[in-house]
Structure formats: structure tokens, C-alpha cells
């Protein structure tokens, strides 16, 4: 009997309300609401001219700042750094200014967004985003938080988005490429209900779509390559059919599936190592649980990246891995 049918019959036999993981009903929607910065002071500031950060599109944001003088822009970033840092479509250098105020760090790292609330969010740029011909956006998976952004979960550096972005940038070795570590959503924790459902991924997909739209406004000539790992591939999968033509390539590594209704006009690349435990995850979606077919199969026509020397679930974006070497070539040829 097919796995999907077996699971469906099991769900029916047990009774839907009885299914739970770690005490949480599996079929109940997960709270995936992303925290937003307090905009009260921004709204009260007459210099913002009524721009609503919650509803303004990236293009509207860009047009708003374009009408201001450099001094006026900087003044807004200094008065409202938490709002400006989160505004997709705002000038890149202005967002860097805003996040430097929020981080209160003397280092020269470039962040487009930084929010320590909850598990935290951070979007770091490696390279020159303003002039890049290619922009790589890395979307991390479960258990990624601001606390582990630099050090990696459990202190394992290869799991850290900041480390992965620099590793990819070094592998591509091209000054015309900028790499972004995008922790712009709230990934699930562990293997519980949130990881089995798509609520967090859907919220992340909306945020990712807006972010990519913002890149198209601030650097319209650049090609965008999305790279997802684990649950991050579900985020990309759900966003895929909303993304504009600037996205030329999507690479999904260690994917549990690409979500409900995946479709893209971009080139799709996939990698899943034999030693990766993700291979034990059934490629099904039943009653809102699971993330669908394995993208390394025949369903989506993905081009496979080599995984011969990849070790485990976190070994794709490490120096010398065959997957990283091939991915770097994909990026250079985008």
C-alpha cells in the first residue's frame, strides 16, 4: 500500500483531533505571526508623510525615500532605526545605517535587517549588494535563531547562516556576486508540530517574496539565486510562484518537500545526500501534515547537484563539498 494512503488511513482510524506532537494538536494551525517593529513613533512623525510600513509595497517605499534629501533620509533612519531596517525597498545604505544603530557594534558587517525580539531575525549581506550582478539568498531551516546566527546550532559553525554565506561567497569568488544570509522568518524548533506543518513556511514565504521584490527595486539588473536548506526549502517552495523574473535559479538542499502546489519558472536544482537523515521523511502531504514530494525525484524535473562527499544533514555548504563546488558554478553561470 502506498505510504500516503497508509498515513491517510491511520489518520482516519485514530481520529483527527487525537493526533498530537509534544502535546500540541497536529491539525490545528500553528501561530506563525512574525513580530513587527513598533511603528507608533513613525506614524506620529510628520516627516514620514503617512507612509504605512505595514502596507506600503517595496516600490512605494523606494519612491518615498527617493523624494527625500540625503539628510532627511538619514534623520529618519536615526530616529526610527527599527522601522527603516525592516523596510524592503528602502535604500540599501540607509538600511545598513539603521541596523548599525540597532546592533550597537563597531564592526563593519552589513545587515539589511536586525531584530532581537523573540527568536530574532537577521539579514546579513556579504559583498557589494548595490552593484552586484548576481544576488544569492540563503534561507536556513529549523532551529535557526539569532543566537545561533554566527555560531551555529550547538556551536557547530557549518550550521550558522553567517558562516554559510561567507563559505558560498568564497566558493563563488566573484566580486559581482553578493550573498545574503536571510533569517527573515521564524523557523520551527525541533521535530514537533510546527516542523510538520507549513504555517511557519507560509509566513516566511510572504516575507521572502517581499524581500525579493525589494531587491528588484533597489538593484533591478541583478539576477537572484535562492538557496534553501531543510525547512528553508519549504519556505522557498511556497514563495516560488509569487517570485518575479529576477529569480533565475532555485537550489534546494536536504529538502523535506517544497510544499503544497509548488510551481516555478526558475531553474530548479536539488541535492540530498545518502547520509542525510532527511531521506527518512515520507514525501507526502496528508491532512496538512508533511511537505510533499522529494524534489530530487522526477516530480519537478530538478537538476541534481552532486553529493558524493557530503556528510549528513549539514554538510552541503562546507568548503570542498561537491555540492558547494557545483552550486558555485550554477551561481557564476546564472
| % of the chain at pLDDT higher than 70 | 85
Look at 3 and 67; give whichever has higher pLDDT: 67
Residue at which a domain ends, from 54, 85, 108:
108
For residues 77-94, average pLDDT: 96
Lowest mean pLDDT among 18-27, 54-63, 86-95, 198-207: 18-27
**Tens digits of residue pLDDT in 22-37:** 344 445 555 556 666 8
What CATH number does residue 284 fall under? Answer: 3.40.50.1820
Shared domain for 66 and 152, answered yes or no, is no
48 with 79, same domain: the answer is yes
Q: Tell me, what's the pLDDT at 285?
A: 67
Beta pairing, strands 121-126 & 134-139: unpaired
- 302-309's contacts with Cβ under 8 Å and 24+ in sequence apart are 302/252, 302/268, 302/269, 302/270, 303/267, 303/268, 303/269, 303/270, 304/269, 304/270, 304/271, 305/251, 305/253, 305/269, 305/270, 305/271, 305/330, 306/271, 307/271, 307/272, 307/273, 307/274
pLDDT band, residue 219 (cuts 50/70/90): very high
- The pLDDT assigned to 286 comes to 58
Q: Rounded to whole angstroms, how far apart are CA atoms 252 and 257?
A: 9
Same domain, 239 and 280: yes
For residue 260, pLDDT over 60 is answered with yes
- pLDDT greater than 80 at residue 319: yes
Q: Which of 30-34, 37-41, 252-256, 274-278 has the lowest mean pLDDT?
A: 30-34
What's this model's pTM, rounded to 2 decimal places?
0.89
What's residue 3's pLDDT? Answer: 39
Query: Given this model, what pLDDT does residue 22 score?
Result: 38
* pLDDT for the residue 10: 36
CA–CA gap between residue 250 and residue 121 (Å, rounded): 22
- Does residue 99 share a domain with residue 8? no
pLDDT value of residue 35:
65
151, 8: one domain: yes
Cβ atoms < 10 Å from Cβ of 158: 18
Same domain, 214 and 85: no
- pLDDT bin (cut points 50, 70, 90) of residue 288 is low
Confidence bin at 280 (pLDDT 50/70/90): confident
Task: Place 305 in a pLDDT band, splitting at 50, 70 and 90.
Answer: very high
Same domain, 164 and 126: yes
327 and 253 in a common domain: yes
**What does the pLDDT read at residue 14?**
33
> pLDDT confidence of 190, banded at 50, 70, 90?
confident
pLDDT surpasses 80 at 198: no
Query: What residue numbers bound the domain in which 96 lies?
Result: 31-108
Would you say residue 314 lies in a domain?
yes
For residue 102, is it within any domain?
A: yes
Mean pLDDT of the chain: 88
CA dihedral 155, 157, 159, 164 (to 10 degrees): 150
Query: 257 with 164, same domain?
Result: yes
Q: What is the mean pLDDT of residues 285-295?
A: 70
Q: Is residue 113 part of a domain?
A: no
Cβ of 176: how many Cβ atoms within 10 Å?
13
- Tell me the pLDDT tens digit for each residue of 121-177: 999 999 999 999 999 999 999 999 999 999 999 999 999 999 999 999 999 999 999
Apex 205 CA angle, 202 and 208, nearest 5: 155
57, 79, 108: which is the final residue of a domain? 108
- Which residues are within 8 A (CB) of 207 and not within 5 positions of it... i.e. 6 or more apart? 34, 184, 185
pLDDT of residue 33: 60
For range 282-288, the mean pLDDT: 64
Which of 108, 129, 148 marks a domain boundary?
108
| Low-confidence winner among 50-54, 194-198, 210-214, 224-228 (lowest mean pLDDT) | 194-198
Checking phi first, is residue 118 left (phi over 0); if not, alpha (psi -120 to 50) or beta?
left
Helix axes 58-66, 199-218, angle to 10 degrees: 40
Q: How many domains does the chain have?
A: 2
Amino acid at each position: 500500500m502506498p505510504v500516503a494512503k497508509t498515513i491517510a488511513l491511520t489518520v482516519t482510524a485514530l481520529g483527527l483531533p487525537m493526533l498530537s506532537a509534544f502535546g500540541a494538536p497536529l491539525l490545528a494551525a500553528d501561530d506563525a505571526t512574525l513580530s513587527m517593529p513598533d511603528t507608533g513613533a513613525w506614524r506620529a512623525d510628520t516627516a514620514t508623510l503617512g507612509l504605512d510600513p505595514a502596507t506600503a509595497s517595496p516600490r512605494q517605499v523606494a519612491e518615498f525615500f527617493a523624494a527625500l534629501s540625503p539628510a532627511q533620509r538619514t534623520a529618519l533612519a536615526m530616529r526610527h532605526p527599527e522601522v527603516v531596517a525592516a523596510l524592503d525597498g528602502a535604500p540599501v545604505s540607509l538600511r545598513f545605517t539603521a541596523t548599525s544603530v540597532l546592533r550597537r557594534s563597531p564592526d563593519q558587517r552589513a545587515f539589511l535587517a536586525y531584530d532581537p525580539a523573540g527568536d530574532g531575525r537577521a539579514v546579513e549581506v556579504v559583498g557589494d549588494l548595490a552593484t552586484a550582478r548576481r544576488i544569492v539568498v540563503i534561507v536556513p531551516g529549523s532551529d535557526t535563531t539569532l543566537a545561533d546566527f554566527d555560531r551555529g546550532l550547538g556551536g557547530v559553525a557549518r550550521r550558522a547562516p553567517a558562516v554559510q554565506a561567507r563559505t558560498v561567497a568564497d566558493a563563488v569568488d566573484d566580486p559581482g556576486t553578493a550573498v545574503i544570509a536571510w533569517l527573515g522568518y521564524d523557523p520551527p524548533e525541533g521535530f514537533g508540530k510546527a516542523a510538520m506543518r507549513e504555517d511557519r513556511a507560509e509566513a516566511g514565504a510572504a516575507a521572502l517574496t517581499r524581500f525579493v521584490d525589494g531587491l528588484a527595486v533597489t538593484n533591478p539588473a541583478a539576477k537572484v539565486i535562492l538557496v534553501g536548506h531543510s525547512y528553508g526549502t519549504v519556505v522557498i517552495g511556497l514563495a516560488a510562484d509569487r517570485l518575479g523574473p529576477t529569480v533565475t535559479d532555485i537550489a534546494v538542499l536536504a529538502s523535506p518537500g517544497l510544499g503544497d502546489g509548488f510551481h516555478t519558472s526558475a531553474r530548479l536544482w536539488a541535492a540530498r545526500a545518502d547520509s542525510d537523515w532527511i531521506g527518512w521523511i515520507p514525501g507526502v502531504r496528508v491532512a496538512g501534515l508533511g511537505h510533499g514530494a522529494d524534489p530530487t525525484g522526477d516530480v519537478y524535473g530538478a537538476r541534481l547537484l552532486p553529493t558524493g562527499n557530503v556528510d549528513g544533514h549539514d554538510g552541503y555548504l562546507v568548503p570542498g563539498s561537491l555540492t558547494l563546488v557545483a552550486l558555485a558554478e550554477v551561481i557564476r553561470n546564472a
